[in-house]
Structure 1
């Protein structure tokens, strides 16, 4: 695919980096010389210095032959303008990053597609939604919902008390025949390798395992692994950023007791006026004594979403030392992901990854409805819609020539999530959730074309 990215900031650079690994033809546009120079020397892409809203610059990028134009500058006005111009100049599909979530809520009413914008994404709104899901499934480190929870992804680390440690996947299936979950990816403790489990794969203590669960599967998984899906009611948010504000607003609307700490006096008053049901305190979330004064030990969850990743990590470590059940940290530095998991932070949120996941489904072939990359794993989780012409349609799973480094985790049929094993027959209209190592994605895509 020929893809043009407007904006070489954190999200734009990360997208360009991921896409360049897949041998996509990428052109990155930005006015910042340093950002472009870094991208040019570190990535196999074309860079153009200039204003992405300039028709001449877009033509230089050969907009008329582009398959996808992505506007991810820091200005939503520029992103919208770029997409409108790009569509008129011949780009097949356009995606604009925005910060005003009202645009997403009313996109059908406003009719953005009429202007030439095919999709709107808000990394901040995606992060707030991720936080809410993490609180709902508090016992798991990684979570993702398909079709409003018809199927769920649940990631956790196996302790020695987990009932299936030492048993193979096949043995565990015989012992627990009524189970509503299936393992789809395993990362062994102390390694960087991702394993797609088969029947003879043995669960080991310390394994980071990702499961797909249908209705009731989360509760079963908790019982078998010794995890407790604790009820979260009292939440402390450290940082009044856009993500902090959106999370506080959404959680308070859902009935959570929310306390938000913001160091900047003006911003604290602004949030307090906008969110009357949230207790807003002008305070520095890094100050341990102040956190004690605000009864951090009585909180069920602490969400650290300040601008600094290190601050968020340290705040969550303080929270865990005070007995807080669930800690969630916003981490912008990708290198911190593995480190943070190993030292005990429950859930990590990364805006770049969330934005990339949201955009990547437009790049994958076949009818991809949703997708997410697995944290710290070299794998993707994709939801495909089965068409009548798809190779996989009307086939029994065990007879499908499926890549060895990919696995079907579940199927959503008529809105109901099902764990699909070998004798399951795929039908037209099914939504199939597949976990695949990156090297096998092209092979998986062919089955759904």
Structure 2
């Protein structure tokens, strides 16, 4: 697959890095010689200095065989122009644009104009990050919630400590003991290893686990596995930028019973937030200032969510909150190296906006019958959802074909509207909705297996 990425900022770099690892043909363009120099030093891609909205440059680099153009430059207008060139001049099939200006994203305006845009998919990382955090807040005992296209099931990312009642029990035994509770452990982070478990494996204290659960059985699952998930009464958002604003608006809309405070360091921005958010206490101050945190009565809150534009401020404010007695903290961290040590410091949930953005883009570019793709922590793999079309090569094959040791696992399926966990000896049928976890070294192989006979 040939992909042209306009913009070598953090978003563009992360996308290029991820797609290049799958041996795609990647071209990345940026006006900054420094950014392009860094790309050339660290990635095996073609990196070119120039403006991504320059028609001559795009025509030269994209040619007539580019599959996807991804425009993530700083200027929304340049992103729109690049997509227009890709459509009108180069006939590129898929065009994705990062749009920052929220005026463009106003639903009243966008609904009337989107069909006239030369853009197939718009991404707005700030809104998407806020939506992911909002979903997590609704199940506060988990580190992350992955909502699937098919609403019968949900994937949770959980931490198991020494108090977990399921520690050191083989997974087969747990499944037999709770046969009426449809779930499957998909993957386990243990120390520096990522494990796709088998029936004889077991959970240990300190494990971070991806688990697929039937949505209707979620409360029972959390109770059985000792996951405390009491509703939140008080939340403090540290950082009133776009992510903080969208998150606050989402909480007001979907969790109206919550008492909400926002801390913002910029005086003018704090004034704007106070006017924009009804029934929200907005405090002007530094999120890593002890006196500000005490004024916000952070020790009395149920959850602190740190979403400033600075990783260090997010980490320090989370640790400060923990030291003052906050039961749970969620931290937004862009640097992919930080999450490795933060859990040991007491940070309950760590979100990387890069992973969220990559997942959003993958949803639009994965081939075959794949409907959604979620990037796992550490980029060790993905969780796929895929429908089995009538001409699929998989029909009549056993699920064992997709259950490959340390490479992939079918977590569950939805068949005729019913979610259940298939055995490896059962057969794949037309219209099955598959939910799989796939190791990053095996993604290309599984993607090909999920294609129809005509692809």
User: Counterparts of 1:140 and 1:421 in 2: how far apart (Å)?
Assistant: 27
Q: Tell me the CA shift for residue 273 of structure 1.
A: 1.5
Say which SS state the counterpart of residue 376 (structure 1) adopts: helix
Q: Tell me the CA shift for residue 401 of structure 1.
A: 5.5
User: Counterparts of 2:84 and 2:288 in 1: how far apart (Å)?
Assistant: 43
Picking from 345, 348, 353, the partner of 2:347 is 345
Say if 1:161 and 1:225, in contact at 8 Å, map to a contact too. no
User: Counterparts of 2:156 and 2:371 in 1: how far apart (Å)?
Assistant: 19
1:172 corresponding residue in structure 2:
174
Q: Tell me the CA shift for residue 438 of structure 1.
A: 1.1
User: Counterparts of 1:305 and 1:61 in 2: how far apart (Å)?
Assistant: 37
Say which SS state the counterpart of residue 326 (structure 2) adopts: coil
Say if 2:336 and 2:378, in contact at 8 Å, map to a contact too. no
**1:18-57 correspondence runs (5 A):** 18-57=18-57
Q: Tell me the CA shift for residue 395 of structure 1.
A: 4.5
User: Counterparts of 1:233 and 1:394 in 2: how far apart (Å)?
Assistant: 50
User: Counterparts of 1:107 and 1:180 in 2: how far apart (Å)?
Assistant: 43
**1:276-425 correspondence runs (5 A):** 276-376=278-378, 378-398=380-400, 400=401, 402-404=403-405, 405-413=407-415, 417-422=419-424, 425=427
Say which SS state the counterpart of residue 163 (structure 1) adopts: coil
Kindly tell me: are residues 257 and 426 of structure 1, through their superposed partners in 2, closer, same or farther at Cα, counting changes over 3 Å?
A: farther
Q: Tell me the CA shift for residue 31 of structure 1.
A: 0.8
2:227 corresponding residue in structure 1:
227
State the Cα deviation string for residues 282-320 of structure 1 (Å, max 9, x = none): 121111122112111111111111121111111111222
Q: Tell me the CA shift for residue 6 of structure 1.
A: 0.4
Say which SS state the counterpart of residue 378 (structure 2) adopts: coil
Kindly tell me: are residues 427 and 106 of structure 1, through their superposed partners in 2, closer, same or farther at Cα, counting changes over 3 Å?
A: farther
State the Cα deviation string for residues 37-87 of structure 1 (Å, max 9, x = none): 111121111112112111111012124321000011122222122112111
Say if 2:22 and 2:444, in contact at 8 Å, map to a contact too. no
User: Counterparts of 2:159 and 2:335 in 1: how far apart (Å)?
Assistant: 22
Q: Tell me the CA shift for residue 235 of structure 1.
A: 1.1
1:118 corresponding residue in structure 2:
120
State the Cα deviation string for residues 211-246 of structure 1 (Å, max 9, x = none): 001124432332233220021121111111110111
Say which SS state the counterpart of residue 232 (structure 1) adopts: coil
Kindly tell me: are residues 419 and 215 of structure 1, through their superposed partners in 2, closer, same or farther at Cα, counting changes over 3 Å?
A: farther
1:154 corresponding residue in structure 2:
156
Kindly tell me: are residues 249 and 63 of structure 1, through their superposed partners in 2, closer, same or farther at Cα, counting changes over 3 Å?
A: farther
User: Counterparts of 1:10 and 1:210 in 2: how far apart (Å)?
Assistant: 27
Say which SS state the counterpart of residue 203 (structure 1) adopts: coil
**1:250-261 correspondence runs (5 A):** 250-254=250-254, 255=256, 256-261=258-263
User: Counterparts of 2:128 and 2:414 in 1: how far apart (Å)?
Assistant: 23
Say which SS state the counterpart of residue 309 (structure 2) adopts: coil
Say which SS state the counterpart of residue 441 (structure 2) adopts: helix
2:430 corresponding residue in structure 1:
428
Kindly tell me: are residues 22 and 443 of structure 1, through their superposed partners in 2, closer, same or farther at Cα, counting changes over 3 Å?
A: closer
Say which SS state the counterpart of residue 82 (structure 2) adopts: helix
Q: Calculate the TM-score normalised by the size of structure 1.
A: 0.93
Task: Give the stretch that moved more between structures: 28-37 or 429-438.
Answer: 429-438
2:66 corresponding residue in structure 1:
66
Q: Tell me the CA shift for residue 136 of structure 1.
A: 0.9
Say which SS state the counterpart of residue 12 (structure 1) adopts: helix
Residue-pair matches, total: 446
1:183 corresponding residue in structure 2:
185
2:242 corresponding residue in structure 1:
242
Say if 2:76 and 2:100, in contact at 8 Å, map to a contact too. yes
State the Cα deviation string for residues 223-272 of structure 1 (Å, max 9, x = none): 23322002112111111111011111111122132211111111111111
Q: Tell me the CA shift for residue 421 of structure 1.
A: 3.7
Say if 1:394 and 1:425, in contact at 8 Å, map to a contact too. yes
